[in-house]
Amino acid sequence: MSEPRVPRPDELDDLSDLAAISFGFEPRRPGERRRRHSGHGRSESRIIAMDGKPVSHIRIVYSHLSIEGAKVKVASFGGVCTHPDYRERGIASRLLDHCLNEVTGAGTKLLIISGMRGLYRRIDAVPVGPVWTASLRADSLACDTVELTARPAEASDWPVLAALHQAEPVRFLRSARFYAGAAAGGHSRAHLIEHDGAPIAYLCLSRIWDLPHDAPVRRFREYAGSRAALLAALPAVFRATGLSEIQVEFPMYDREFPYLASRYGIPLEADTIYSHTIRLLDLPGLMRALRPYLQARLSPSDLRGLGFQQADGVCRFSFAGEHAELNLSQAGFLVLGGQDKPEIGGALGRVTSAIFPIPVPLPGLNYA
Amino acid sequence: MEGPRLVRRNEVPELSNLLCEVFGFDGIYDKAEFTKGLLRPVQLRGGMIVVEDGRPVSYILNVVDEVSVYGCRFKVASIGGVCTDKAYRNCGYAGQVLAETLRSTTAAGARVMIVSGNRSLYERNHCVPAGDLLAASTSREQMPSPDPSLTVRRFSVKDWGELSPLSAAEPVRFVRPYDFFAKCCCWWDVSRPEVWVLSGADGPLAYLSLLPPWRREERGSRSVGDYGGSRSAILGALPLICEATEVDTVSFRFPRQDRELSYLMSSQGFALKPSTLSGTHRVLNLPGLMHDLRPYLAARLSGSQLRRLSFDQSGESCAITLGSERLDMDLSAAVVLVFGGKGAPRVGGELGEVLRAVFPVPFPMPGFNYV
């Protein structure tokens, strides 16, 4: 078994085959060059090789969140897979531990993983990020309006989408170059909503991995712009796509969507970010980065009295002589909002409930 | 003549007399409360005066705040209360106080100046109307039925803890800490804007600040001064607020980048017209401003464009270059180019493409930060 490492160029065809086997992609035909399933580079991959070929893989992507203007470095893990013939040998756990150490050493504050399986729960990655969800059918929406149109976004529309995304208060930071990569990734399709011919919102719809690829059902992956226009344009989206169902998902910190949904009579269910888990990597560093966010929610004296520590898998929250010690999973639920959030009373409870959960965006086009 | 210099604590009563005399505050503001407000640290820190015969005769207040534009923070100076005693006008005192204010606020790191006025003094100093806004007004009869799921109540300063997160979630805003109202300019105390907290079943959804008019004969009208949170809740609650206050007409002026509000208003039949920010604006430090806005630029320009793009300023002249292409302009033209407005220079070539991709930069309305 090799040490965890970046794959060599001559291993990329085998890596492509590993992804095809693990995720049900169409296998490479004999003699065909490797397929770039997600458009990412070799340097983002970490593998363990056995018997001369990659048998376990994790993709690492570094990025930054902008949370009401506070910049937070995060890492995303995706494409986590192990060849079926090499499972149950601890190979994935070993690779995961290696990658976890790597991103922690790189000054990353949060780790976002596209997956919810036990492997991730064992490293204290937890389902968090409160969202509202609803399943909408083409015939259940009575909010159509003729002034709105929906059409698939073209490559030339990316600057428009970028400007709409940039106005979101909680988002991934992206450069102009990002969108070319996202377009090449091809996991989801962006639809531009226009009002009287002017761009007003967009949404990205992605397939649901549990369903057949051709199932006429898609899920909200990302959205930006006017929520009212977006909801009112969904009938146009159904017409443009031929879908029968769209599963909408929007973070609970978005105050516009639930209010509009209630006006439209759309029943909402509480959940956490779809098919993702998040692990706290550096609680004190995260809270330092979030200082502008905290300053809007706590008085200067409360802010001075609040302390965060993390050591040996235990997070300590302290305020005014009170403290709470939580393991990383519990701390993740408290800080990022999850159904198993621990209850904290007293003065410490007052200040933690004023600042938590920290809003995090849907992974969207930054899906790893 | 002494000054321009900062006002001293013992000069505040005379300063209050000057302001009340020039602006006619008598009968509108409680003078004792107004004078007390002038003693706040923020007022003393930024109150620039010229003294004649042992008392202030010319005055400008400046407050340096921070704004956040899509997460990019930069300092802005707001000036207000600009006045000169009638007996000392045409002596150049106002110009001297303004020049010293421009110097000190630039030295303090401010990139932009907001002026609550538009007279020739400002125009001569490159403070011009700017901003890319939309305006509309509505009467009670035109408003849709109120949303019965909403409740409205008047705001008190202690509510700010609940509303501050709504303000902080605005993509283009003044940065307002939790203790904002304890430290802000004293107009808040005396002008008493009507601020409303709009709530649904699960708590506050939005806030809305309505400003009464100065003229008594227009008491049935209000203009929107500040808002945050759900735009659909704001429009849904408007009839409730108008009913509670017997207000007949509400006028809106809001940044064009607020797509939610513009969509909702146009779909509800409001006639939207182009407008600009209130007062006038001046760029104090163009290279510094664009440096602070670099992440904003990076989301809109390629790496190559970003590397070749540079901004310069020398006195009242500015230049923007992209490789061999160059645009020279004065500060007045720079303001409308950067923030939008009438008379922005037209530029062709790749430089023109780049400038159209990044300008106008959104800018917040002063609202509670009005000086």
Chain B residues in contact with A252 (beta carbon < 8 A): none
Q: Is residue B345 part of a domain?
A: yes
pLDDT at B145: 87
The residues in B 90-109 lying below 8 A from A, measured between CB atoms, are none
Query: Which residues, numbered 301 to 340 in chain B, qualify as contacts with chain A under a Cβ-Cβ cut-off of 8 Å?
Result: 301-303
Considering B86, B105, B124, which residue would you say is the last residue of a domain? B124
Residues of B whose CB is below 8 A from A354: 161
| B359 or A42, which is more confident | B359
- Judge contact between A61 and A76, C-beta under 8 A: yes
Cβ contacts of residue A252 below 8 Å, gap of 6+?
A130, A131, A132, A258, A270, A337
The span from the CA of B337 to the CA of B363, in Å, is 13
pLDDT, position B349: 97
Q: How far is A88 from chain B (nearest CA, A)?
A: 44
- Residue A209 pLDDT > 90: no
Is B371 inside any structural domain?
Answer: no
Chain B residues touching A299 at Cβ < 8 A: 178-179
Owner of token pair 């983002």: A44
Domain match, B177 and B257 both? yes
Nearest CA in chain A to B177: A296
B259 and A66 within 8 Å at the Cβ level: the answer is no
Low-confidence ranges of chain B (pLDDT < 50): none
Whether the predicted pLDDT of A255 surpasses 90: yes
> Residue A38's pLDDT is what?
45
Residues B236 and B313 in one domain: no
In this complex, is the C-beta atom of B231 within 8 Å of any C-beta atom belonging to chain A? yes
Chain A interface includes B169 (CB < 8 A): yes
DSSP A107: T
Give the torsion sign (CA, A347, A351, A354, A359): negative
- At residue A250, φ and ψ (nearest 5 deg) are -145, 140
Let me know if residue B92 belongs to a domain.
yes
pLDDT of A279 over the 90 cut? yes
Q: Which of A145, A175, A296 shows the shortest C-beta gap to B299? A: A175
Sorted by where each starts, the structural domains of chain A and their CATH numbers stand as: 9-121 (3.40.630.30), 131-272 (3.40.630.30), 282-355 (no CATH)
Q: Is the peptide bond before B4 cis (omega within 30 degrees of 0)?
A: yes
Q: Is B179 on the interface with A (CB under 8 A)?
A: yes
> Which residue type sits at A285?
G
The pLDDT value recorded for residue B174 is 97
The predicted model gives A48-74 an average pLDDT of 96
Tell how far CA A234 is from the center of its chain: 23
> How many angstroms separate the CA of residue B298 from the nearest CA in chain A?
5
CA distance B171 to chain A (A): 5
CB contacts < 8 Å between A and B, how many?
A: 123
Choose from A67, A175, A202, A250 for mutation: most chain B CBs within 10 A.
A175
Q: CB–CB of B179 and A174 under 8 A?
A: no
Among candidate residues B79, B95, B124, the one where a domain is terminated: B124
Q: Coil, strand, or helix at residue B314? A: strand
pLDDT of residue A188 exceeding 80, the answer is no
Number of structural domains, chain B?
Answer: 3
The pLDDT of A77-93, averaged and rounded, is 94
Question: Strands B151-154, B280-283: parallel, antiparallel or unpaired by DSSP?
Answer: unpaired
Determine the pLDDT at residue A30: 64
| Per-residue pLDDT tens over the stretch A110-134 | 999 999 989 999 999 999 999 999 9
Q: Which residues pair with B135 in a beta bridge?
A: B253, B273
Residue B83 lies inside a defined structural domain of this protein? yes
* Contact residues, chain A, for B267 at CB < 8 Å: 145, 147, 228, 232
- For residues B65 and B183, the answer to whether their CB atoms sit within 8 Å is no
- Domain with B297, as residue range(s), is 280-358
Q: How confident is the model at residue A176 (pLDDT cuts 50, 70, 90)?
A: confident
On whether residue B369 sits in a domain, the answer given is no
Q: Are residues B256 and B315 in the same domain?
A: no
Residues B150 and B269 in one domain: yes
* Residues B47 and B171 placed together within one structural domain of the fold: no
pLDDT at A144: 60
> For an interface test with B, which of A171, A172, A255 has the most B Cβ atoms less than 10 Å from its Cβ?
A255
pLDDT in tens, B130-161: 999 999 999 998 888 889 999 999 998 888 88
Closest C-alpha to A170, from B12, B341, B71 = B71
Q: Tokens in use for B223?
A: 């203009």
B100 and B24 fall within a common domain? yes
Whether B144 and B223 map to the same domain: the answer is yes
Residue A174, amino acid: R
* Residue at which a domain ends, from B217, B246, B275: B275
Look at residue A368 and tell me whether its pLDDT is greater than 50.
Answer: yes
Which residue intervals of chain B are DSSP H helices? 12-23, 31-37, 41-46, 93-107, 120-124, 160-168, 180-183, 187-191, 231-245, 259-267, 286-292, 294-298, 303-308, 331-339, 349-358
> What is the pLDDT at residue A23?
85
Q: How many CB atoms lie within 10 A of CB B249?
A: 16
- Asked if A66's CB is within 8 angstroms of B170's CB, the reply is no
Name the residue in chain B with its Cα closest to that of A229. B263
d(C-alpha B122, C-alpha B126), whole Å: 6
Q: Is residue B83 located within the same domain as residue B169?
A: no
The CATH number of residue B239's host domain is: 3.40.630.30
Together in a domain, B271 and B146: yes
Q: Which residues of A touch B167 (CB under 8 A)?
A: 296
What pTM was computed for the model? 0.93
Q: Does B144 touch chain A (CB under 8 A)?
A: no
Please tell me the distance in Å from A151's CA to the nearest CA on chain B: 18
CB contact under 8 A, B259 and A200: yes
> B82's torsion region: left (phi>0), alpha (psi -120 to 50) or beta?
beta
Do residues B105 and B147 both lie within one domain? no
Percentage above 70 pLDDT, chain A? 93
The pLDDT assigned to A106 comes to 97
Residue B295 shares a structural domain with residue B335: yes
In a domain, B318, yes or no: yes
Shortest Cα distance, chain B CAs vs residue A104, angstroms: 25
Q: How confident is the model at residue A179 (pLDDT cuts 50, 70, 90)?
A: confident
Instruction: From residue B320, give the alpha-carbon distance in Å to each of A99, B8, B58, B72, B345.
Output: 45, 42, 37, 20, 12
- CB-closest option in B178, B200, B230 to A297: B178
The angle subtended at Cα A350 by Cα A347 and Cα A352, nearest 5°, is 110
- The answer, yes or no, to whether ipTM is higher than 0.90 is yes
Contacts of A256 in chain B (CB under 8 A): 230-232, 260
Residues B263 and B285 in one domain: no
Of B68, B177, B302, which has the smallest distance from its Cβ to A176's Cβ?
B302
Residue B365 lies in a domain: no
B interface mutation test: which of A68, A230, A353 has the most B CBs within 10 A?
A68
Neighbours of A28 (CB within 10 A): 16
Residue B34 lies in a domain: yes
Q: What is the pLDDT of residues A280-335, one digit of tens each?
A: 999 999 999 999 999 999 999 999 999 999 999 999 999 999 999 999 999 999 99
Please count the CA atoms within 13 angstroms of the CA of B363 that sit on its side-chain side. Answer: 31
For strands A269-272 and A53-67, give the pairing. unpaired
Taking contacts as CB-CB distances below 8 angstroms, the residues of chain B near A302 are 178
